[in-house]
Chains A and B, each alone.
Chain A
Amino acid sequence: MTIGVVVFPGSNCDRDVRWATEGCLGLPTRYLWHEDRDLSGLDAVVLPGGFSYGDYLRCGAIARFAPVLDSLKRFAADGGRVLGICNGFQVLTELGLLPGALTRNRHLHFICESTPLAVVSDRSPWLATCARDDQFSLPIAHGEGRFQCSDDTLKKLQDDDAIALRYCRNPNGSVADIAGITNAQGNVLGLMPHPERACDPVTGSTSGRAILEALLS
């Protein structure tokens, strides 16, 4: 049972994720360089936050062509668990594993704060320990986190019960207050908040542990 953490040029939360999963939760973890293609032996993969490839063109637009993501598409299609955090969420939408897109925050500011979230779907394995409408706070840190999608896509997300988390106080203008979504199957989760920054008690909160523990549950 091992977690892989993808390292793109420009990722900056890869070590935070590994500290959270391995250091705080005791889950075996290894890094995956963006040119690796071999995902054998991995049970879950995390795309961490940061600025992959400098966020050139659009966030996640260049990362989409990284060799490791070819393998990741097959990994996800076979039911492997994939968690995209912040920039990782942006990469997953560019890659097409999740619908929609992440755009500039409504007020143009880079937001770095702790924000209250509510559980929308308790169906997905990621929030199995939570009940619908449970609330907890997680840190957010992004300039381009405004989730955007067409009305049809929003309806499909609602019909599939694929909206995992919503903001209690929408900080960035996201459609339907969306903070995180899953794919229809539920094995791929993308979210803008950083659960890995709320795992070590010294950071003031451990409310992110449930999501990371779900990687190997």
Chain B
Amino acid sequence: MAAVDSARAGSPKAATETISRATDRRTARLVPVTRCRFQRTVFNVQSAAIERTPGLSRFNNSRSELVPRFQARVLVQLRPSVLDPAGEAASAAAQRLGVDGIAHLRIGKAVELELEAPDEAEARRRVELLSDRLLANPVIENWTLELSQS
């Protein structure tokens, strides 16, 4: 038997059959090895996902109501010391439009996001980190955060 197996191991198909049969003896009989592994993997992924993200509705999980959801609005503005040429151009255009009396016009950006977090302090911590490390460049920009629970 061993001599036959090693002689057939030269072709990929023969090698696969040998491995399958050898594995069959250790696990459930007549169940294809790959299918067995696949099912177990999928099962593990699903159970892990439910444990970690109880709020995902696609798993139809009754605990989804428990995770508070927050709405955040981050306003990113150029620091006062940094020239805002786009703001100056918009200010000049306002005058051409006939809107008088504009004393100050600076252009920034607003980032709106929703997130799930266990409490407001944690939500604030996450959005502050995001604002400081990604949404704004502290060298040239300031940011302010408005946070509310939905």
Contact = CB atoms under 8 A, between A and B. Distances in A.
B116 to A, nearest CB: 23
A164 B137 CA distance: 24
B89 interface: yes
B86 interface: yes
B134 A57 contact: yes
Contact residue range for chain A?
10 to 19
A103 interface: yes
Given A103-B140, A106-B83, 20 more contacts: A57-B135, A61-B134, A61-B137, A93-B139, A94-B137, A100-B139, A101-B139, A101-B140, A104-B86, A105-B85, A106-B85, A108-B85, A108-B86, A108-B89, A146-B83, A148-B82, A148-B83, A148-B140, A150-B81, A173-B83
Interface of A: 57-58, 61, 93-94, 99-101, 103-108, 146, 148-150, 173
Interface in B99-150: 134-135, 137, 139-140
B139 A148 contact: yes
A143 B83 CA distance: 15
A44 B60 CA distance: 53
A-B pairs with lowest CB-CB distance, top 10: A101-B139, A101-B140, A108-B85, A106-B85, A104-B85, A148-B140, A101-B137, A148-B82, A58-B137, A103-B140
A148 B81 CA distance: 10
A106 B85 CA distance: 6
